């Protein structure tokens, strides 16, 4: 059995570079899941996400998730366009 040294702990800058580097997205589904739902990846500007989060926080009396808020907004827009 070979003996190796314990790896050095990376500095914070190295950790942050790795986090921000990201990775590849999983292959997109071209078929619905058991509930008939598709998975969709959205890339939104940070300021738009902040606006959405603020709208979610202002929602009364029941708060909902960011995803539910986006789905509701899309539904309202699609209903309006019809």
**Domain spans in the chain, listed from the N-terminal domain onward:** 39-82
Q: What's the chain's average pLDDT?
A: 86
Task: Supply the pLDDT for residue 27.
Answer: 67
**Which backbone phi and psi does 19 adopt, to 5 degrees?**
-65, -45
Residue from 52, 54, 51 nearest 67 by CA: 52
**73 or 30, higher pLDDT:** 73
Specify the pTM: 0.56
**For the segment 18-58, what is each residue's pLDDT rounded down to a tens digit?**
888 887 776 655 677 778 888 888 999 999 999 999 999 98
What is the mean predicted confidence (pLDDT) over 58-68?
87
Q: How far apart are CA 46 and CA 20, in angstroms?
A: 14
Q: How far apart are CA 69 and CA 76, in angstroms?
A: 11
């Amino acid at each position: 059995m070979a003996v190796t040294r314990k790896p050095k702990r990376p500095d914070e800058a190295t950790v942050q570079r790795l986090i921000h580097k990201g990775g590849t997205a999983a292959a997109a589904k071209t078929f619905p899941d058991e509930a008939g739902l598709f998975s969709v990846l959205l890339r939104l500007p940070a300021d738009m996400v902040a606006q959405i989060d603020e709208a979610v926080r202002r929602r009364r009396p029941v708060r909902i998730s960011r995803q539910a808020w986006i789905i509701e907004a899309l539904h309202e827009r699609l209903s309006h366009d019809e």
